[in-house]
Chain A
Amino acid sequence: DGGITQSPKYLFRKEGQNVTLSCEQNLNHDAMYWYRQDPGQGLRLIYYSQIVNDFQKGDIAEGYSVSREKKESFPLTVTSAQKNPTAFYLCASSLTELYSNQPQHFGDGTRLSIL
């Protein structure tokens, strides 16, 4: 079955620590995305990648970093510079980002909390 796998499901971060959230897809999609979800605020775009070795900042990129070394993988690092990292993080992919009618497919999320 094709899909998006996010791990871990729950993650705890200590003060001053960087943590990395994993996202893997086997849908052969070119485009991948990271969103942050806070209660009552919908989803906000952190970073996105249209193709391997390329990525762009979304609306709330400060304190986050990403890489896209392989088509299947788009890990997100939450750095110590992100002062309010507690949230539900969702990874998504779409066949291509070139057209606006492409739906996105979502993983089941990682819930990050501060210790």
Chain B
Amino acid sequence: AQSVTQLDSHVSVSEGTPVLLRCNYSSSYSPSLFWYVQHPNKGLQLLLKYTSAATLVKGINGFEAEFKKSETSFHLTKPSAHMSDAAEYFCVVSVRIYNQGGKLIFGQGTELSVKP
């Protein structure tokens, strides 16, 4: 069965320090993986996606993620946190179900706090 696990429910960093949000996935097939960000009372915005091309994926706002098949991980990183990065982040795996197209499976979310 396909699943996604975000290893931290809450991460707190200081402004200007690196960000690491961890995600492990389980998939029977070569998955498509996404990171989304959600600011309070807003919808989800796509940060980046992996679809079996380069294993290091660059996204918006300076974020990037590395797909590691051997570790079944897709961790999200940013070299230097900004106050505006404070939000909830979702790791998402897309699976293909026969005759039903693609389905998204969401992680539980990681809340990122950024201290001045």
Contact = CB atoms under 8 A, between A and B. Distances in A.
Interface residues of A, number: 30
Closest 5 CB pairs of A and B: A106-B43, A100-B102, A97-B101, A42-B106, A101-B51
23 contacts: A6-B43, A31-B101, A41-B108, A42-B108, A42-B109, A43-B90, A43-B106, A88-B41, A96-B101, A97-B102, A100-B31, A100-B32, A100-B95, A100-B102, A102-B102, A103-B46, A103-B49, A104-B44, A105-B46, A106-B36, A106-B44, A106-B45, A109-B41
Nearest to A98: B101
Interface string B77-116: 0000000000000100011100011111011110000000
Given A100-B31, A101-B51, A109-B41, 19 more contacts: A42-B90, A42-B106, A43-B90, A45-B104, A50-B101, A56-B100, A92-B44, A97-B101, A100-B95, A100-B102, A100-B103, A102-B94, A104-B44, A104-B46, A104-B104, A105-B46, A106-B36, A106-B43, A108-B41
- Identify the interface centre among A50, A92, A99: most chain B CB within 10 Å of its CB: A99
Given A4-B43, A90-B44, A103-B46, A40 B108 contact: yes
Interface of A: 4, 6, 31, 40-45, 50, 56, 88, 90, 92, 94, 96-109, 111
Nearest to B46: A103
B94 A40 contact: no
Nearest to B109: A42
Contacts of B32: 100-101
B34 interface: yes
Contacts of B17: none
Nearest to B96: A100
B12 interface: no
B55 interface: no
B102 A101 contact: yes
A42 B107 contact: yes
A50 to B, nearest CB: 6
B9 A40 contact: yes
A22 to B, nearest CB: 14
